[in-house]
Amino acid sequence: MNGSAWKNFACCRPARVAALALALAAGLGLAGCRTYRAPVAPDFSQEMADRAAAIDLVRAGQRLEYAGKEALAEDKYRQAVNLYRETPSAWNNLGRLLMKRGANEEARVAFLISAELSPRDPMPLYNLGALWDNMGYLDDAGRWYEEALSRDENFQPALRRSILVDQMLRRGNEVTARRVQRALLQETDPWWIERLQRERVRLAEELRAGRGRRGEDDYLKRPTDERPAGLPPFGTDPGPLAEPLPR
């Protein structure tokens, strides 16, 4: 093939290449040619099956939890995430059980993965706040509660705990006051209603006097071992939340 012919062949349009492939597929006397096969669309049936099986494992794990068999439940959640990683409820519930038995670093990672896989769900971020809350790091806990509220400003558990963190640190501002207002609009528990109403009065007085966020700087400057533990006031529970049973 001379230079001109090679140039013409190299510049051929894709349609000519496709026609050549079809000709080869028809077996035009070319010994040993391979049959041309059109591209096959990806088969997602296995992925769908794995996802369904993972959800079934989450359901089984939650039934075991309700029966008090937490070690077996944890094993089911681990099976679920090993089978299908993109199962946020399995990661969240695994994190809860890890937190309950003191495996805090593993719990933190599990909650972060759950939050990544479900970017609109405030629950795993709330659980990260509960993790730091239970270890006594109220400033870190408060920041995660705020992250949860950035996903859903009316998420009741995060509203409650973020308000209490500000109260325990003797601080508060206009943002806290608005959260108290939103919390009162949806609260039905008499204990919480009374506490929130007292907090609304306290914040109103402090904001009028220009003392918003009183005590925050003093708290953050203390050595960690001198900070007050984040123990919940009577009647509250900073424990992590479980996912509802998947449908």
State the 10-residue block means of pLDDT for the chain, 247 residues long. Answer: 48 47 42 58 79 92 92 96 94 94 94 94 94 90 93 92 85 83 91 88 79 48 48 53 61
pLDDT of residue 35: 58
pLDDT of residue 238: 63
What length is written for the chain? 247
pTM of the model: 0.70
- What values do phi and psi take at 210, rounded to 5? 70, 30
Do 145 and 175 form a contact (C-beta atoms < 8 A)?
no
**Does the domain spanning 46-226 belong to CATH 3.40.309.10?**
no
Tally DSSP H helices, then E strands, for the chain. 12, 0
pLDDT of residue 43: 67
Tokens of 67: 């029966």
Query: What is the H or E stretch that residue 167 is in?
Result: helix 156-168
**What Å distances lie between residue 71 and 24, 78, 146, CA to CA?**
61, 11, 32
pLDDT of residue 132: 93
pLDDT of residue 1: 52
Closest CA to 216 of 147, 159, 170: 170
pLDDT of residue 222: 54
